[in-house]
Amino acid sequence: MALSLNSMMSFPSYKLSSKPLNLRSPRVLMASTLHSTSKEAENLKKPYSPPREVHAQVSHSMPPQKVEIFKSLDGWAEENILVHLKPVEKCWQPQDFLPEPESEGFYEQVKELRERSNELPDDYFVVLVGDMITEEALPTYQTMLNTLDGVRDETGASLTSWAVWTRAWTAEENRHGDLLNKYLYLSGRVDMKQIEKTIQYLIGSGMDPKTENNPYLGFIYTSFQERATFISHGNTARLAKEHGDLKLAQICGIIASDEKRHETAYTKIVEKLFEIDPDGTILALSDMMRKKISMPAHLMYDGRDDNLFEHFSSVAQRLGVYTARDYADILEFLVGRWNVEKLTGLSGEGRKAQDFVCGLSSRIRRLEERAQGRAKQSSIIPVSWVFGREIKV
């Protein structure tokens, strides 16, 4: 899901020292020297090429000796993280919530689905489609996890607990996009070809969430994102129920429950890192929040709308599916979940990072209130996902 926080807030950036507890390695590689100007972004987006990241990309920022921390935690992960996966035979599958194609009543079931979906407004479908497209870019997220030093799947079928988790997490997540995609197809309310093009563009664009091959940063990012998707799917469930589509509410709700279970696993990993290396972990959390959490579909493009992600975000904000307040609430939740305020024995830099992180959620809320006061007048634009019908953004 999405927020345009960059224009709302900025934080001073400072380089962390190279002390042993420093999260960053001196072997920082600049994979790109492009600056994020709109002109350069425009030049990169050619008819045969999807949008690309244009910020300076950093790789392998974790000191090599810290890789050993994650190798030593493999047994712990087996006992404490893999338990948050469900056996395939006990998992729900998309077909559990869809018309049965082998049934004589299939066409009647599709007709009933379409009748229910007719009660839902177009702006709701814009948000539901955006959620589905985000889920369908799953190959990008598995790729991101497999960039993380010390926990990546080195062979594609590694038996380490970290690799087993990544593959099984991906397999569970794969059901989300499948289910929403099939529901939207059967509803007849959306332009599936435009949606399919958007998915292809998005996967082709990839994603650099500024986690720098660093599992400290990576697991903080996934903790935040799993909670964000839990909130978003929960709110689409609520709205579907309000509009009378109880089956769609059930669909969105069951996806939200998966996201909550995955959130529990990722937050438990970060909790363990706080236990083992509180200074390194608080520096990582501060670093990630200073850079701001980029949303996984921020390079969304349909071949027509250069600002598709911002428009999708605006509709989600207006409907209350995912808002700036949710961003602050997630941070506040994680700070409490990890007992950040109670950390002791930190270095000077660690204490500064602690103060910054603990005061950030209230600062975000104040800035969001000011931004709302200065909010420009809404506009009406055509959205290709709903056959070019006009939507308020």
Active-site entry in 208, 226, 245, 326: 226
Active-site entry in 123, 135, 172, 368: 135
Is 68 catalytic? The answer is: no
Active-site entry in 136, 160, 172, 176: 176
Dihedral sign for Cα atoms in the order 233, 239, 243, 244: positive
Active-site entry in 74, 76, 78, 92: 92
Is 344 catalytic? The answer is: no
Please name which of 1, 3, 14 lies closest in space to residue 352, comparing C-alpha atoms: 14
Is 229 catalytic? The answer is: yes
DSSP 8-state assignment for residue 95:
G
Is 176 catalytic? The answer is: yes
Active-site entry in 53, 153, 173, 305: 173
Q: Is 244 left (phi over 0), alpha (psi -120 to 50) or beta?
A: left
Active-site entry in 262, 323, 326, 349: 262
Is 92 catalytic? The answer is: yes
Is 258 catalytic? The answer is: yes
Q: Output b/e per residue, 73-88; b: 16+ Cβ within 10 A.
A: bbeebeebbeebbeee
Active-site entry in 131, 178, 191, 259: 259
Is 332 catalytic? The answer is: no
Six token digits for residue 265? 């696993």
Active-site entry in 131, 258, 279, 302: 258
Q: Which residue's structure tokens are 């959306």?
A: 190
DSSP 8-state assignment for residue 94:
G
Is 123 catalytic? The answer is: no
Active-site entry in 166, 229, 236, 281: 229
Are 363 and 9 in contact by the 8 Å Cβ rule? The answer is yes
Residue 27 C-beta-side C-alpha neighbours within 13 Å:
7
User: Cβ–Cβ contacts within 10 Å for residue 239, how many?
Assistant: 21
Is 55 catalytic? The answer is: no
Residues 6+ apart with CB under 8 A from 288: 210, 211, 217, 220, 221, 224
| Catalytic residue IDs | 92, 135, 173, 176, 226, 229, 258-259, 262
